[in-house]
Amino acid sequence: MHNLTFVRKLEIEFISETLMLHQKYEGDVGCVVWDAAIVLAKYLEETFKQRRFCFKDKNVVELGAGVGCAGLTAACFGANVLLTDLAEVIPLLQLNIKENEKVIAHHGGSVKASILRWGNKDPSINFIPDVVLLADCIYYKQSIDKLLETLDNITENDTRILMSQEMRESDVQKNCWEYFVKRASEKFSFNYVPLSVQNPEYRCPDIKLIELIKKEKTCY
């Protein structure tokens, strides 16, 4: 696969490491490193650096992982990470896991990849993750309800859900985001992360960084 890919380097300055992220020259949305994934990855580094969150031995799931940028970053901070995506994306994820396995192991983390089609049960997720990551997953309107179904199934009220999303200008994408906010608000509260606490070099007003908080279920 190497001759079909090119590499983007992601510097993780705080631990003096570099992730090597293979991308495809051709493919769908899951084949490249999106800016929103970089913003999320660098925010994880900020929270780790400032000791606002400890990833050591935490169970992390990345949904729609693509090349695995955010999840691999969390693994570098000692997390046990499961990268999930569609079957056709898994070979690229496996390549990036192999490319970075020594760095991740050196820092006490672990990472593996698993097929997950949103809305379906995945036997690999037989636990409630401490953290769920999503980077630029709101792209196709027809997948939103299934994504929210999966998010509801694998989380509890204390699960930390971090998502990044680029706000695109097309009417189709604006409508897609509005639909996501409307549907997600039924079960999750939105906490927008201010630019002031994000990485000063990797932040952008057009990329929203959000912590979703699962609402308590109402009993009647």
Q: What is the pLDDT of residues 22-51, one digit of tens each?
A: 998 766 655 789 899 999 999 999 999 988
pLDDT surpasses 80 at 217:
no
Unique residue bearing structure tokens 């999503």: 134
Name residues whose C-beta falls within 8 Å of residue 190's C-beta, 6 or more positions apart in sequence: 181, 184, 210, 212, 213
- Would you kindly state where each structural domain of the chain is located, as residue ranges? 2-214
The beta strand positions in the chain, using DSSP E, are 5-12, 17-24, 59-63, 80-85, 110-115, 131-135, 160-166, 188-192, 207-214
CATH code, 2-214: 3.40.50.150
Can you tell me the distance from the alpha carbon of 45 to that of 35, in angstroms, rounded to the nearest whole number? Answer: 15
Question: What's 204's DSSP letter?
Answer: -
Task: For 106-164, give the secondary structure using H, E and C.
Answer: HCCCEEEEEECCCCCCCCCCCCCCCEEEEECCCCCHHHHHHHHHHHHHHCCCCCEEEEE
For 121, the token pair is 């049960």
Q: What is the pLDDT of residues 123-171, one digit of tens each?
A: 888 899 999 999 999 989 999 999 999 999 999 999 999 999 999 989 9
pLDDT on residue 122? 79
pLDDT on residue 1? 58
For 135, the token pair is 């980077």
pLDDT on residue 3? 60
* Number of residues in the chain: 220
